[in-house]
Amino acid sequence: MGSYLEGDTIAAIATAMSQGGISVIRISGPDAIKVCDDIYRSKTGKKRLVNQQSHTIHYGYIVEGDQVIDEVLVMLMRAPQTYTREDVVEIDCHGGVLVTRRILEAVLKAGARLAAPGEFTKRAFLNGRIDLSQAEAVSDLIQAKSDMALASSISQLRGSLLGKIESVREAILHDLAFIEAALDDPEHYDVTGFGEELSVSLTNYRGELRKLIESAKNGRLIKEGIKTVIVGRPNAGKSSLLNALLGEERAIVTEIAGTTRDTLEETITLGGVCLNIIDTAGIRQSEDLVERIGVSRAREMAAESDLIIYVVDGAEDLDENDAEIIQMIKDRKAIVILNKTDLEMKVTAEDLEEKTGKCVIPISALTGANLEAIEAKIKEMFFAGDLSFNDEVTITNVRQRETLKEALESLNRVEESILSGMPEDFYSIDLMAACDALGLITGETAQEDMIDTIFKEFCMGK
């Protein structure tokens, strides 16, 4: 990959543009220190940044001509021991929006240009500081919605995926090198029986790739959250359950059946698991046009969900609306909530479990009794009940998943060539295709337009 070490100097505000304690303006490039020196004055007015050692902090002022813009701390870091492997300067100023913009403007006037979104991380990648999977982990880390998403991002940022991919890719390259050597120098390299040896190796390679691809199912849930839809007949306590899980009165709750007419969406975290939870209109037959539309949306949302939470009013007998919902959840991942245990019950958990074939959790949304059982069941259903993040790599990126599939397909074609008795040079074509696909994940064979697309999704200043 190329290097930006000979390129221009960029700058951006690295913190959110809002009122706060501090803001950070980040500068990176060959002239980063000089640019800051032009607008920085030490407290004594004599200290110049160009003469200071790397990884030091300096107290002074940012000025524009004779006017002091702000009192600041300047962190100076020289290449290559920096995030971008270029000279980097960070200006810590007071957190006002106006003062932060004034300092950035002064930096740009001094010779830097405004960085594009993700350009700092892009330079880190192009300068060999991180690979492409680690760069994407930076973006995932910033956008993490749950403890699991955070742990997964940190794991990839530390190179867990890179290690897996490099291990498989290097082994395939070794096989390729042997085939090429044997084709060029058959007197010294004997390929007799190599197809059988390669077949054994392919079993291991494909097993590793399948494991990574399979992890993407949970990876999507970790990154995006579990799309969870609450269904039930009117007045069963769906909105009360949502409020109880949120810990606030978000949904309107009344004793009038059919209060909820439209969907209400919220994101909550239960024990490190992110739920994109949707409260829906009570499912029943109705002559009211608006309510019928709400019920139709409830059915549509349930059909598209990862998880259905079916709330049953335990203080009332089951009716034809419950029968419809029971049929709806028959072949779906679902939890049945037997609500209103604080009242005299007419429906038992045992009877409900027999009718639905699902796990039934008795609760009281009003008092909050047994809500923790819902959290435990969701963990069990989606993550085998174990949320302590281990060393297993989880694919949370669609691009990585699709590229792994391409690599696996190429290895499958190699196996087909072996079984068909094809000559060894046929193996090389698909082995190389697998290597190229795996290289796209780490950036070894990535094309410039693909790299640009990835980093455009980053936030400014990162």
* Nearest alpha-carbon partner for 93 in 185, 192, 13, 210: 13
**What is the gyration radius of the CA atoms in the chain, in angstroms?**
29
Per-residue pLDDT tens over the stretch 69-99: 999 999 999 999 999 999 999 999 998 899 9
CA distance 339 to 318: 13
| Ordered domains of the chain (ranges, CATH) | 10-130 (3.30.1360.120), 136-220+397-443 (1.20.120.430), 230-383 (3.40.50.300)
CA distance 75 to 92: 8
CA distance 356 to 352: 6
Band the pLDDT of 254: cuts 50, 70, 90: very low
Q: What is the mean pLDDT of residues 303-325?
A: 89
Band the pLDDT of 289: cuts 50, 70, 90: low
Please tell me whether residue 7 adopts helix, strand or coil conformation.
coil
Band the pLDDT of 292: cuts 50, 70, 90: low
Residue 272 CA, chain-centre distance (Å), reads 14
Q: What is the mean pLDDT of residues 360-382?
A: 87
Q: Is the pLDDT of residue 36 over 80?
A: yes
Burial class (CB in 10 A: 0-12, 13-18, 19+), 303: exposed
* Number of helical (H) and strand (E) elements in the chain, helices listed first: 15, 13
CA distance 404 to 212: 8
Residue 1: the pLDDT is: 43
What's the maximum distance between 2 C-alpha atoms anywhere in the chain? 88
CA distance 41 to 56: 16
DSSP string, 263-286: -EEEEEEETTEEEEEEE-PPP---
User: Is 359:353 a contact under the CB 8 Å cutoff?
Assistant: yes
User: Is 264:281 a contact under the CB 8 Å cutoff?
Assistant: no
Q: Which residue has the tokens 């209109």?
A: 281
The better pLDDT of the pair 374, 82 is held by 82
Q: Measure the CA angle with vertex 351, ends 312 and 304; round to 5°.
A: 45
Q: What is the mean pLDDT of residues 241-255?
A: 64
Per-residue pLDDT tens over the stretch 127-157: 999 988 888 888 888 777 777 777 777 888 8
User: Is 30:86 a contact under the CB 8 Å cutoff?
Assistant: yes
Tokens of 27: 């500068």
**pTM exceeds 0.85, yes or no:** no
Q: Which of 50-54, 195-199, 217-221, 224-228 has the lowest mean pLDDT?
A: 217-221
The better pLDDT of the pair 458, 300 is held by 300
Please tell me whether residue 68 adopts helix, strand or coil conformation.
strand
Residue 145: the pLDDT is: 74
The dihedral sign for the CA sequence 202, 203, 206, 207: negative
Q: Is the pLDDT of residue 59 over 90?
A: yes
In b/e form, how buried is each residue of 182-218, taking b as 16+ CB within 10 angstroms?
beeeeeeeebeebbeebeeebeebbebbeebbebbeb
Q: Is the pLDDT of residue 333 over 80?
A: yes
Q: What is the mean pLDDT of residues 216-232?
A: 83
Q: Which of 132-136, 146-150, 246-250, 445-449 has the highest mean pLDDT?
A: 132-136
CA distance 381 to 369: 21
Letter for the amino acid at 389? F
